[in-house]
Amino acid sequence: MNPISKLTSLGQSLWYDNIQRKLLENGELKAMIERGEIRGVTSNPTIFNNAIAKTNDYDSALIPLAWAGWDAERIFWQLAVEDIREACDLFMPLYEETNGGDGFVSLEVSPYLANNTEATVAQAKALWERVSKPNLMIKIPATPEGIPAVRAVIAAGINVNVTLIFSLERYAEVMIAYLDGLEDRCAAGEPIDHIASVASFFVSRVDSKIDPKLPEGAPLRGKAAVANAKLAYEAFAAVFTTRRWESLKLKGARVQRPLWASTGTKNPAYPDTLYVDTLIGPETVNTVPPATLDAFRDHGAADVTLTRDLDDARSIFAQLKTIGIVMDEITDELEAEGVKAFADAFTQLLAAVDARRKTAASSLGQLADSASKLLSSPELDSVPARLWRRDPTLWATDEAGQREASNRLGWLDAPEKARALIPTYQAFAQEIHAEKIDRVLVLGMGGSSLTAEVLSSLQAGAKENAPLSLAILDSTDAQQVAETARNFPPEKSLYILASKSGGTAESMAAFHLFWKLSKGDGSRFIAITDPGTDLEKLALERGFRKIFSSDVSVGGRFSSLTDFGLVPAALLGMDLNAMLDRADWMKRECGGGTALSGAERSRSAMSAARNPGVALGAILAASARAGRDKLTILADAPVSALAGWIEQIVAESSGKNGRGILPVALEPLDAPEVYGNDRLFVYIRKTGQLDNGVAALKHAGHPVIELPMTNYADVSAEFFRWMVAIATACHLLGVNAFDQPNVQDSKTRTVAKIADCKASGKLAEKDLVETKAALPALKKFLAGVKAGDFVAINAYLPRNGETIEALQRMRVAIREQTKCAVTAGFGPRFQHSTGQFHKGGTNKGWFIQVTYETRDDVDIPTQGLSFGTLLRAQAEGDYEALLAAGRRVLRVRLGADFLREFGDLTTKLSE
């Protein structure tokens, strides 16, 4: 039997004098309980100060509450109650197993109330009701004013941990207060069989107080604390064997167990388990700090020691008195110091919370007031509960819109569904790795491929080496297609044909090419698609290696935590459990859960400001309402790929009915004065030093939201946060987050262009400005741009490092000319991302479409069409769709040497 098990068998319970959110979230506290190491938890202001003020574990909760305008003390109690409630849930099985004998979690009333009886009673009752757990104990200090509070709170039927007891005299008062409270309750006709109480008798501080008063090497050093506790235990035994007690016991009363507190060894000369080994006895508790628990687990000595050497204990007190050390004076000083120390720790804690609160609130700049009002409004408070009820009226009033929304809410359960599929994902990945396939190409558009791109980028920056490389092909540009085909030859590659609808034109064109290159080898292909699609039928007919049937209740842009994201993640060798743990964590933070615990149910019903997803969505909406509808997404390089995913879910979800939020992804960062008052910045930050440019934006008063990421698993939490956020923002803006009414127009027009081309042998293109005339046309076009507008460069060019850099330079040049936000996207990729916003969002856009003369075209096998023609048809169709939506468009046609020509145009525009 190990020391802890033996100690438990002797009638003493070890409680853990520590709580912090990290232990609750990473499963360590639960594991400690299940291993039988701890049977309860105690907390105090110092513990919470260390947990909250010295870590970032609470930022996901603290920051939105700060945005909502909560003060520091209100924020603290929210955070503390959450931790205590969750710990109570973890201990509930033990509490029930022991019939209420163990499994308690203690929460202390404000140290500021130590000398106020009525206020202590009132707060004890309020905290009891707020936590609402039978295994909660309210900690009340054993001050002269605290003693009557103990009596009143016990009489109210509330479990009490009486803390800061140092003297035998005060301990006697505590025990009497407990009995008085039980008798008061009996007199009122109320039951007492469920009430539990402990009396926390502080130990090591006694030695720390007395030892300095003794000569070096004196035999009384390190003796007083244990002697004091042993005499307290003797007093306990005397009180709880009296006739008075026996009368209460017959009515179901439980003894008020002595709890040995402050049992960490502060003097390194003493054994590190001194205040555990020497204080073991039946019906007692020892609450130990982490280091002491580790030490006792390793080499503690478990034996009944409390009842030994009582005469020696009395002799120690007598010897101390003869040398002028009076215990009553010592314990009075310790009580006063203890009250002050906890009050000081509480003050320090609130100051730290307040500093973070101010930083978070100030980060919103001029948005702070409107954001605070919205986050505190009844308009928002109902959103979390309605979201988790799957209430489609959040987004639509018409029957068709409500039906569309109802059919697209499966993402709320995606983490749980994905967890069940992990063995399938892992088995498939192992199969591919075993065959030494060293590269994967995803043929997909928009939500079917963007998650894979994000994960591949994150894994490339991780310390672990991926077992293969992964890229996506979401272009019909002939040069890009040809280059991709060279990099992903069939003999080395696996092709993932990903399409929810099963008929995405770009993906199918790519498939026809790679099918021909593979000579019809179905083992090189897998499909991810909804059940019953044409793609599923094709995969069966062609003998694809595997078909993953995606969840029909999840729309494409919300599909990150489904097959579309997790199959690539598994192939990349990512830790799926870790990723889903983070998604689950964010889901709980946002008020969700499959089988909601009490803590999670409370979160779903609590203030919307506490919900990080809803809070972010409210900020997005408040910003858009205030005219700051350009969501400018900045990112540190290692996590920059996430910006493209955010761009899609924000633009395609919100940009409709003449409203919406325009994502401006990865626009080159400039000085604060470059930006107008139509910007809201989101900074995806890889843990480390704050980017100097972002710091300057904040200093200048621009609203900046920081979203830190520590490792690749955190991206799953961000996926879920943003899905909740955009669903919330769309509700507040009055649009349906789950439809895309303007996307089809461009597709329909493209199909018509292709049909005409096949019939006539040529593709009709109009309104093209050739390179030589481009500069004056561009300057004239940009002259019409006014404050609050935006410019979008829709580039039908190959997407690679050179063209990305060229587009970034052009963005800067146009921003310098117009002082407006400038977006950039590659066609046809952007049509599956920002394309919906372009036609359906606010009519503030000035669109520059860039095409070029394809040098070496590539045929699409069996389709009677080339990739170059398809790309031009898509550009033509999108141009007409923009015009039909009343948008302003300039078309520029570059030659085959398009990079040089585009660079020259940028240079001349900047002159």
Catalytic residues: 139
Mark 627-651 as b/e (b = at least 16 C-beta within 10 Å): ebbbbbbbbbebbbbbbbbbbbbbb
Residue 85 to residue 468: CA distance in whole angstroms: 44
Torsion of CA 703, 705, 706, 709, to 10 degrees: -150
Provide the 10 A C-beta neighbour count for residue 437. 18
Q: Which of 588, 727, 647 is nearest to 454 (CA)?
A: 647
Strands 865-866 and 859-860: antiparallel
For the purposes of burial, counting CB atoms within 10 Å of the CB of 50, is it exposed (0-12), middle (13-18) or buried (19 or more)?
A: middle
d(CA 575, CA 620): 32
C-alpha angle 493/495/499, rounded to 5°? 165
Is 623:367 a contact under the CB 8 Å cutoff?
yes
Single out the residue of 838, 837, 808 nearest to residue 824, CA to CA.
808
Q: How far apart are CA 597 and CA 542, in angstroms?
A: 47
Q: Which of 186, 207, 187, 203 is nearest to 195 (CA)?
A: 186
Please give the Cα distance from 239 to 491 (Å, whole number). Answer: 84
DSSP conformational letter for 861: T
Taking the CB of residue 770, how many other CB atoms lie within 10 A of it?
A: 13
CB 721 within 8 A of CB 590: yes
Q: Which residue has 């994902």 as its token pair? A: 425
* Axis crossing angle, helix 59-67 with helix 72-97, rounded to the nearest 10: 140
Q: Is the dihedral of CA 549, 554, 557, 559 positive or negative?
A: negative
Neighbours of 373 (CB within 10 A): 14
Residue 749 to residue 728: CA distance in whole angstroms: 33
Q: Of the candidates 657, 642, 590, which has an alpha carbon nearest to the alpha carbon of residue 618?
A: 590
Alpha carbons 703 and 788: distance in angstroms, whole number: 16
Task: Write phi, then psi, for 281 (nearest 5 degrees).
Answer: -170, 165
**What is the DSSP code string of 696-752?**
HHHHTT--EEEEEE-STTHHHHHHHHHHHHHHHHHHHHT--TT--TTHHHHHHHHHH
Burial class (CB in 10 A: 0-12, 13-18, 19+), 882: buried
Number of residues assigned to the chain: 911
Distance, in Å, from the CA atom of 274 to the CA atom of 687, rounded to the nearest integer, reads 41
Q: What is the torsion angle, in degrees rounded to the nearest 10, for the CA atoms of residue 863, residue 866, residue 872 and residue 878? A: 30
Task: Judge contact between 578 and 589, C-beta under 8 A.
Answer: no
Which one-letter DSSP state was computed for residue 466?
P
753-759, long-range: CB < 8 A, 24+ apart: 753/873, 753/876, 753/877, 754/865, 754/869, 754/870, 754/873, 757/865, 757/869, 757/873, 758/864, 758/865
Asked if residues 23 and 91 have their Cβ atoms less than 8 Å apart, the reply is no
Q: What SS3 state is found at 31?
A: helix
Residue 864 CB neighbours (<10 A): 11
